Each structure stands twice: as structure tokens, then as C-alpha cells.
Chain A
Amino acid sequence: MKYATDYGYQIKPVYGPDDVEGLEYQRDLGDPGSFPYTRGYHENGYRSRMWTRRMTVGLGSSRDANKVLKKYREMGQRGGMCVIHDRVSCSCIDADHPLARRENGVLGWPGSSFLEFEELMEDIPLTGQSITLLGCCSPSTLRLAYVVALAEKRGIDPREVHGSVMESPFGNVFGQTDVQPFDLNMKLFLDATEYVVREKIRMRAGLVGQHFQESGGNNAQLLAVELSMLKEICGRLVNERGLDFDEAMRVPYQLIDIGSRFFEEVAKVRALRRMWAKMAKEHFGAKDEKSCQLLIAVHTSGRTMTYQQPLNNVARCAIQTLAGAMVGCTALDNATLDNAYAEPSALAARMSLNTQHIVAEETGVAEVVDPLAGSYFVESLTNEVEAAAYRVLDEIDELGGLVAAIEQGRIQAMLHEEANVKFRETNNGEQLIVGVNHLAIPEEEDSFEIPVQELEASDSEAIAQRMAAWKKTRNRDSLEAAIGRLHADAGKGDGFNLMPAIIEAVKVYGTAGEIMGVIRLARGLGYDPFELIQCPFELN
């Protein structure tokens, strides 16, 4: 039996005062609400603001996803909604693209036009809850444009809407390859982020560490990569876009993965709060205390949800939810018991949301802030993961930062190696997984059938056909004018913000493929990343 964290720290059988000898309360922990925020940002914790309890939605058509969103509200989804794009709209191609026809609405919401967003949000309020739209960096500007356009259409000031619709370009190298080039994603991400800061729109951008960890990365690497992302993004917003750091820091939030190694997960999040607070002060010279408080949302780990004996996942989900709650998160969404099969069924979604409600309402853990503080073990682990993360961070810095490290293939290699290690450890029984490599039962005994959500190829094709037909009904003149302006703006260099032109194009129902296509053309790329279709517009 191996007693070690995933980043290689040997865990002792017992911890005592000697293990936290150098710990100074004010310097290293501070009260909740005080620098360095190891214990969280609110004096009264969840008593002043309960975490947002939500589930991620996205399967089938926009109308299908709308029904699920309404159902989740009935199930007690509180504080916010969360929708993820399908692979087609993640790639910024349209539903009627030749490569899309089998995949629309697969693994997400087919959000490649404003029409789809209107259908998604029908009878669902834009305000009074956080609006979170996830799924790759490329559609970030579109998602922001959808929100602005719908707010205007409903007569709401966009500044009244809050949530998160942007996603950093780094997620796409963490085990998920994007079809749009990294430099284009980065430029558009910075455009969207700069726009919300200057327009005072309360939309955030996810620097999603979750993908990194779900793809195999260990806890120390995750913290280092997270801080490196913040360093790159904030650095660019300040240096390239001329924003004040304290303004720029209103935008990022972290979506972090919580697995089943309970105390290590708690320590990881506490270390992240402390490490960021220090970086904000020491590296960026934060003047506003708010800038030292990195917003942290939690996703319980999908990769730990087993295919075998899926009911076991209810227990895993509960343990992970408890860790996420005890560490003080802003929002939490769960993986579900059927995560290894498909998108959540209504049963699985209800189980997961109820797991959150049980933790929130029945256990009492939400009544006290950072209840594990002062535990010899937890404080030691917090110090250990922090020290290990600083070592990785130094390596990334020496390579010239995260973008440089990615260009050299180093981050990808790091992830690949870790994924192999994790596979080997379960394969040879070093890490036991109940029902998989421990206490497995014969297939015929694993008889409890869970409902599984399915999507037929005909559903995907219907989404494609609808888009193809609908495109012809749009006002061609206003569309061409908006697309023409966007193409012209896109030729004005990386620093020229395309958000205003994208919003105009979205309002007249320019689609993801069209908008990204003409931006690509202006940058000397082909209209279609797959080189299968031609630009339908005449451009000057």
C-alpha cells in the first residue's frame, strides 16, 4: 500500500504540533476575510452567501436544453445556471457544416447562433441568477455577444447580468484539442475580457484548471498551471490592453476539480487561495483587496465516476461535494452517477443536486467557515502542496511562462506522463477503485440498470437542417453589412477589439461559423478550419 499524494509527498501515519511548527496564524492563514485568505474571503462564510448549487446542461437541441434548465430550477438549482457547448459550436463551425451533421447536440448545447441562445433561454431569467456558459475558448466572444444581445432585446441593462461566459485559451491544450489556432483564441479571449472590464459588465472568464486535472495532472501541477494562467492572462490585460490590474482581476475565476482524496483536495484549494493572494500583491502590486481574492468554483470529478457499478458514484459524489463545501467554494456543479455513460439523466441529475442540498442543509458543515483549519494534517498538506506547486511554477517561469512552455510542448508532455502514471497505478492495483480493480463483480451480477440519456443521429441531423433552412430567412442586407464591418475590423491588428463588431453581427444572426470564418480570412487563414466550405459572403 502506497501512502502518498499524487505529487509524490509521503504521508505520515500521524501529524502533530511539530508538523506545523513554523506556522504563523496571521501570516499564513489569517481570519476568514483577511489576507492571505487561506481560510476564505467572507467572515461569515456561507452564512452571508450560500454557494451556487447547479448542474451542467447540454444535450440535444436548444429547446431540449431549455426544458432541462427549467427542470433543474424545479429541482432546486439555486443561484445560477450552467450550460456547455457541443463539440460543433466549441469548434466555431455551424450545425449545417459537413462535419457537424452527426454531432450537433452531442455532449453539449448546439449554440452556434443567437437564435439557439434565445431558444435556450426562453422563459428563463437573465438576471437574479448567474449565467454560466462553458465549453472551449473559441466561442467566448460569441457567448458574451449572445448575453449582451438578449439583454438588450429584453430591455435589460447588460450590466445587470452576471455570470461567466468566457473561457481561457489554455483549456484547449489540457487534453482537449481545439480546431481554432491558439493565437486567435488568445486574441479573442483578451477582446472579450477587455470589453467586459471597460463596459463594466459583470461577466467572468474561467481559467479552467478542471480540464488539466481531469486529463491526469496532479495537484501540485494544477496549482502551478493555474497560477501561470493567471500570470499570463493578467499580464497581457495589463501590458497589451492597458488595463489596471485591479480592474482586470474582476474577470478571472477558477473552475477546479475535486476528487475523492478528501484532505488533499481541501488542502489544494486552501493553498491556491494563499498562493494567488501573494502573487496578486507581490507580482502585480494589487491595491484592491478584492484582487487578492480568486473566485473558486468547484466541479466534482467526472473521471472518478466509474462505468462499473454506477451507483457507487453516488458515494463518491457525496464525498467530493463535502470537500468542495468544506473548503469554501463560490459555486459547485457535480459529476453524476452516469458520467461514464452519457449526459446526466433526470434521475442522475436529481441525485447530484440533492447531494448538494443534503450537504448544505443537513450536515451543518456550511455553518462554520473553514472548519478544517488548524488540523495538523490539513495545514501540513496545505504547506506541502504549496511548496511542490512553487517548484513546478519555477520550472514554468524558467521556460518563459505558460505560453512558452506550451509552445515547447512541455505542459502537454507533463500531462501525458501523469496520465500514464495514473493509468499504471490503477492497472497494477496501487490505487484501488471499488468495483473496477477492487471487489469487482461479474458483469451479469452488475444488474442494476440506470437510465441512460441518448441522442439519435437523426436528432443531430434535424439541428443541421433547421439551421440550413433558417439561415435563408435572415435579412441578407443587414447581415452582409455587419459581416463586412467585422471583416474590416479583424484586419486592424490584434489590439483592435472585435467585440463591438461581433455583437452587431450576432444581433443580425450572423453564426459562429460565419463570424469566426471572416475573422480567419482577415488573418490570412482559410474561412473553414476544415477547408470543406467556402465563405458565403463577398468581402472587400
Chain B
Amino acid sequence: MTEGRGIKIIVSMIGLDSHTTGAQVVATLLRDAGFEVVYLGVNQTPEMIVKAAIDEDVDVIGISSHASNFALIEDLMDLVVEHDLTDVPVVCGGNIPPNQIEKLTAKGVAKVFPPGSSGQAIVDYLAASGRAGK
């Protein structure tokens, strides 16, 4: 697959959440679709994720979340604005309830993929939105 060619994306956990299976599966899916994946792994603070986004000059920030408190993602969105990175879409995936999706979207998160999302839907969305930022 070549949909993701030329698009660089961070896949990261946030905070102390260590349920990495979803993030790893998505990282593999994206690599297989031609994306360049920067997998940050566990124990990443919002500051570390933003720094990596700048250092690696990525096109998309992808956050995998299994937690029931999404304050850290909101903190990340504040930092994205502060560092003038709003042209880099932040995309989340994981166990995120509908009302939280509303809150996160209002905070500037571009898209949330809940469990059960199809691989093709994720790839198609990221291919389109990653290019839009270029």
C-alpha cells in the first residue's frame, strides 16, 4: 500500500497509560500503508510529544488512549497552540466515550477513532489530513 507515502506521523501513548497493544497495532497498520511512523511508546508527557513533533517535523500526531481521564490530551492541545503547531492535526484512538469526543474535538482534536474503527478508515483519513497540512 502506498496511501501514506511521504506522510510522517507520531504514534504515542500519553501519561502513565501503558496499554500499548492498540498503539502498536496501529503503528504496524500505518507502516504497512506506507506512512513513516515515529513510535514514541509509553510514559510520554504532552511536552515530550510536542518536542518530538517539532524535532521530527511530523505531519500528524497520533495519540492512543485507554484512560478514563483525558485531561492530558487537553494539555497537549494547549501546547500545540502555544507552539504554533495547529497545522499538525492531532488524531486520537482508543476507549474514548462520545461526550469526551465532543470535548476533545472542541479543544481542537481533529478526529477520534473509537475501538472497532476499520483500518482503511484510519489510513484514508490520515492520508488525506496529513497531506492537507503540507
Interface, chain A (partner B; CB < 8 A): 59, 87-88, 90-91, 99-100, 102-103, 105-107, 175-179, 214-216, 306-308, 340-343, 415-416, 419-420, 423-424, 427, 433, 436-437, 452-457, 460, 530
B119 contacts A423, C-beta separation under 8 Å: yes
From 95 to 132 in chain B, residues with beta carbon under 8 angstroms from any chain A beta carbon are 95, 97, 99, 114-116, 118-120
| Contact between chains at B25 and A419 (CB < 8 Å) | yes
- A340 and B68 contact, CB distance less than 8 A: no
With A87-B15, A177-B18: A453-B68 Cβ-Cβ less than 8 Å: yes
Q: How far is the CA of A33 from the CA of B10 in the complex (A)?
A: 54
13 A–B contacts from the bound complex (CB under 8 Å)? A103-B72, A106-B68, A177-B20, A179-B43, A216-B21, A306-B115, A342-B95, A342-B97, A427-B118, A427-B119, A433-B116, A436-B116, A453-B68
Contact of A340 (CB < 8 Å), options: B21, B25, B71, B95: B95
Q: A307-B114, A307-B116, A342-B68 are in contact. Are A419 and B21 (CB under 8 A)?
A: yes
* Cβ-closest chain B residue relative to A435: B116
Task: Among A99, A178, A215, A306, point to the contact of B45 (Cβ < 8 A).
Answer: A99
Query: Chain A's nearest CB lies how many Å from the CB of B93?
Result: 11
The number of inter-chain residue pairs (CB within 8 angstroms) is 100
Taking the nearest CB of chain B, how far is it from the CB of A480, in angstroms? 29
The 8 closest A-B pairs by CB, nearest first: A457-B71, A87-B16, A436-B116, A106-B69, A341-B97, A307-B115, A177-B18, A427-B119
A340 close to B114 (CB less than 8 A): yes
Residue contact B21 to A103, C-beta cutoff 8 Å? no
The answer to whether the Cβ of B38 comes within 8 Å of any Cβ in the partner chain is no
Interface flags, B25-69, vs A, CB<8A=1, else 0: 100110000000000011101000000000000000000001111
Assuming the contacts A419-B25, A427-B118, A427-B119, asked whether A102 and B19 have C-beta atoms less than 8 A apart, the reply is no
Q: Beyond A99-B45, A341-B95, is A176–B18 a contact (Cβ under 8 Å)?
A: yes
Q: Which residues of A contact B115 (CB under 8 A)?
A: 306-307, 340
Contact at B68–A87, with CB atoms within 8 Å? Answer: no
Chain A: CB-nearest residue to B29? A423
| B87 at interface by CB-CB < 8 Å | no
Residues of B within 8 A of A456 (CB): 69, 71
Alpha-carbon gap, A106 to B72, bound state (A): 12
Contact B25 A176 (CB under 8 A): no
Which residues of A lie under 8 Å from residue B41 when comparing CB positions? 177
Does the CB pair A452–B99 fall under 8 Å?
yes
Question: In the docked arrangement, what's the CA distance between A216 and B25, Å?
Answer: 10
Total interface residues on B, CB under 8 Å, equals 32
B119 and chain A: residue at smallest CB distance:
A427
The residue from A103, A177, A452 contacting B67, defined by CB atoms under 8 A apart:
A103
- B119 pairs with A102, CB closer than 8 A: no
Measured in the bound complex, the distance between the Cα atoms of B24 and A176 in whole Å is 12
Kindly state the separation between the CA atoms of A100 and B69 in the bound complex, as whole angstroms.
12
A88 to chain B: which residues have CB within 8 Å? 16
Residue of B nearest to A338 (CB): B97
A99 near B15 (CB under 8 angstroms)?
A: yes
Q: Which residue of B lies closest to A416 (CB)?
A: B24
A99 to B14 Cα, complex, angstroms: 11
Please indicate the chain B residues that have their CB under 8 angstroms from the CB of A424 in the complex: 119
* Contacting pair B68 A455 (CB below 8 A): yes
- Report the Cα distance A215→B24, complex, angstroms: 11
Known: A176-B20, A177-B20, A423-B29. 16 other contacts (CB 8 A): A99-B15, A103-B16, A103-B69, A103-B72, A106-B67, A106-B69, A177-B41, A177-B43, A216-B21, A308-B114, A308-B116, A340-B115, A343-B68, A420-B25, A427-B118, A456-B69
Are B68's CB and A454's CB within 8 A? Answer: yes
